[in-house]
Amino acid sequence: MRLVYFASVREQLGIDSETLTLPAGVGTVEQLIAWLAAERGGPWAATLRDQRLLCAVNQEMTTLQTALNDSDEVAFFPPVTGG
């Protein structure tokens, strides 16, 4: 699975992308966020649990209940991005 972080999310986490294996027991975007927040704590928990956070799976906007596969690309970005 490829995770991509954009704009202020990238700045707060200090990373622009990473590849990881879908953790056991993680099957939705919501579960992925909870896993990342619990595993990494600190700025990860604060940034990824922001209610305004937007997410896309395979370049399509999604909800927290969207199912995930190990081959997916998941992108996180703030609600307002400039051009």
Task: Convert the pLDDT of each residue in 27-61 to its tens digit.
Answer: 999 999 999 999 999 999 999 999 999 999 999 99
Domain coverage including residue 43: 2-77
DSSP element (H, E) containing 37:
helix 29-40
Question: Does 8 reside within a domain?
Answer: yes
Residue 81 has pLDDT above 80, yes or no: no
- pLDDT number for residue 60: 97
Q: Domain tally for the chain?
A: 1
Residue 12 counted as domain residue: yes
CB 53 within 8 A of CB 81: no
pLDDT reading at 9 higher than 60: yes
In a domain, 49, yes or no: yes
Q: For residue 19, how many other CB atoms are within 10 A of its CB?
A: 8
DSSP, collapsed to helix, strand or coil, labels residue 66 as coil
Distances (CA, A) of 69 to 26, 43, 60, 82: 9, 25, 14, 30
User: What's 58's domain CATH number?
Assistant: 3.10.20.30
